[in-house]
Amino acid sequence: MSYFPEVNSIQYEGPQSRNPLAFRWYNADEVVEGKTMRDHMRFSVVYWHTLRGTGGDPFGPGTALRPWDDGSNSLDNALKRVEVAFEFCQKLSAPYYAFHDRDVAPEGASLAESHANFDRIAKALKEQQAHTGIKLLWGTANLFSHPRFMHGAATSCNVDVFAYAAAQVKKCLEVTKELGGENYVFWGGREGYQNLYNTNMQRELDHLARFFHMAVDYAKQIGFHGQFLIEPKPKEPTKHQYDSDAAACLNFLRAYDLLPHFKLNLETNHATLAGHTMMHELDYAGHQGALGSIDANTGDLLLGWDTDQFPTDYYLTAQCMLMILKHGGLKTGGVNFDAKVRRESFEPIDLFHAHIGGMDAFARGLKIAAAIRADGVLDNFVKQRYSSWDGDLGQKIEAGKSSLADLEAYMLGRGEAAPNASGRQEMLENIINMYM
Ligand code: XUL
Ligand code: CO
């Protein structure tokens, strides 16, 4: 039984190909900087958008045609979706997938029933993983959709809701371990607030840290060795999300002694909502050894919310890959397409076009980034730009061996600082264009 009978397995045909159902740049076995494209990117398909997205928006219901899905919340329907998901990943040669517990298995009438549903689906997922070789990049618990989470989960004012969320994460950790998941993600969901008049921020942050410590402890207890990741996002659904950007997450993790246990899962559209570029977020996390994984997508400058579009812009993907290569590559992480087709792209085949485009854009971005690095244009410029620091004075300051008084004495002797050199931004932007 095939759910995508009109699509064969997607092949690499090279840049000259005009076949929209072929890769033009993603050549899984091609080696770049000593590693195959497959291993650089570790592409992953998300269950929530690709299998569960309906195309609904605040103005109207879903439009997506998904002939295999009867629209019900039944286990049978959920089991069928598992087959669809793996056929899709296989035809796309995506080596990984990612899910929320409630994407894959229906919420039951009680926690016990939800656990049982999840177990049943996990069994099917495990069988399909064994059958296809497709692996789980990460699992996560949906702690934001159900009305019980209206005030948040780990930061809820209602202790019972905290307990419920804890139970859900415990179960999701067990299932993620059972499926060999390589990471476990916490995205903030409703961990944040709308208004400080009714909020005890300090207590909420303390609770969030407690929650993460419990997860770390439980992972140790059951022998789950996947990497914990936090996914920053500054707003949506709450006005102030606690995990607003890479810097805020790292500060929180450091303040609560969680830093050794976590890295970050950075998402392009979240970076831009935070007023940063993805490149900034990647570099910020990278230089602190906290670059874990990426949720690959793009926003829309004209819209300004989390539109979760597939990335097709080579500048963006080249910038992502420049930073990923600079910081030593994705280890347990991957390029996870947390992206959805537009409401108007309602046919199953649009899911293929979307992912093929994203994979090709990242493959092209990788090649551009590697070419820039091979020529050393940016590295050499940056090295030269800071070269005054390589002298005696700079080295003394960097080593912590200078005081304000030393520097005053030095500058009194010189009278004026040495002249500055041009930043040459426009020249460098032109040089980057030579590689596009
Ligand atoms: C929400 C978002 C989530 C996380 C997983 O904006 O990105 O889908 O990736 O919870
Ligand atoms: Co995401």
**Atom 7, ligand 1: residue with shortest CA distance:** 338
Predicted confidence at residue 334, as pLDDT, reads 99
> Got the DSSP string for 276-337?
--HHHHHHHHHHTT-EEEEE--B--TTT-S---BPP--HHHHHHHHHHHHHTT--SS--EEE
Query: In this predicted structure, what is the pLDDT of residue 294?
Result: 99
pLDDT at 241: 98
Q: What is the pLDDT of residues 397-410, one digit of tens each?
A: 999 999 999 999 99
pLDDT of residue 351: 98
Q: Tell me which residue has its CA closest to atom 3 in ligand 1.
A: 187
Percent of the chain with pLDDT over 90: 99
Q: Which two tokens stand for residue 128?
A: 């399909």
- State how far the Cα of 52 lies from the Cα of 69, in Å rounded to an integer: 9
- Is 103 catalytic? The answer is yes
Express each pLDDT in 218-255 by its tens digit.
999 999 999 999 999 999 999 999 999 999 999 999 99
Residue 193 near residue 142 (C-beta atoms within 8 A) = no
Q: From the CA of 242, how far away is ligand 1's center (Å)? A: 14
The rounded distance, in Å, linking the Cα atoms of 297 and 325 is 19
Ligand 1 in contact with 162 (CB < 6 A)?
no
- Mean pLDDT value of segment 38-62: 98
Top-confidence residue, 114 or 304: 114
Average pLDDT score over the chain: 98
Beta pairing partners, 185 = 229
User: Which secondary structure element, helix H or strand E, spans residue 112, and what is its range?
Assistant: helix 111-132
Is 87 touching ligand 1 by the criterion CB < 6 Å?
no
Contact, 194 vs 246, CB < 8 A? no
Q: What is the mean pLDDT of residues 266-280?
A: 98
User: Cα 166 to chain center, whole Å?
Assistant: 23
pLDDT tens digit sequence for 334-364: 999 999 999 999 999 999 999 999 999 999 9
379 carries an active-site annotation: no
Distance (angstroms) between ligand 1 centre and the Cα of 20 equals: 28
Whether 360 lines ligand 1, by a CB cut-off of 6 Å, is no
Q: Is the CB of 295 under 6 A from ligand 1?
A: yes
Give CA–CA dist 205/209, Å, rounded.
6
Q: Is 117 exposed, middle or buried (0-12, 13-18, 19+ CB in 10 A)?
A: buried
Mutate to test the pocket of ligand 1, among 140, 244, 265, 335 (most ligand atoms within 8 A of CB): 140
User: In this predicted structure, what is the pLDDT of residue 133?
Assistant: 98
| Shortest-distance ligand to the CA of residue 273 | 1
Instruction: Kindly report the protein residue whose alpha carbon is nearest to atom 2 of ligand 1.
Output: 187
- Res 80: pLDDT: 98
Residue 20 CB-half CA count within 13 A? 6
pLDDT value of residue 41: 98
Q: How far apart are CA 130 and CA 120, in angstroms?
A: 16
Residue 317 burial class via C-beta count within 10 angstroms: exposed 0-12, middle 13-18, buried 19 and up: buried
Nearest to 296 by CA among 411, 152, 137, 83: 137
- pLDDT tens column, 70-124: 999 999 999 999 999 999 999 999 999 999 999 999 999 999 999 999 999 999 9
pLDDT at site 270:
98
Helix (H) or strand (E) holding 165, with range, is helix 159-178
- Contacts of residue 82, Cβ cutoff 8 Å, sequence gap at least 6: 104, 121, 124, 125, 128
Any ligand 1 atom below 6 A from CB of 243:
no
Tokens of 304: 């300004």
Ligand 1 centroid distance, CA of 188 (Å): 8
Q: Is any ligand 1 atom within 6 A of the Cβ of residue 103?
A: no
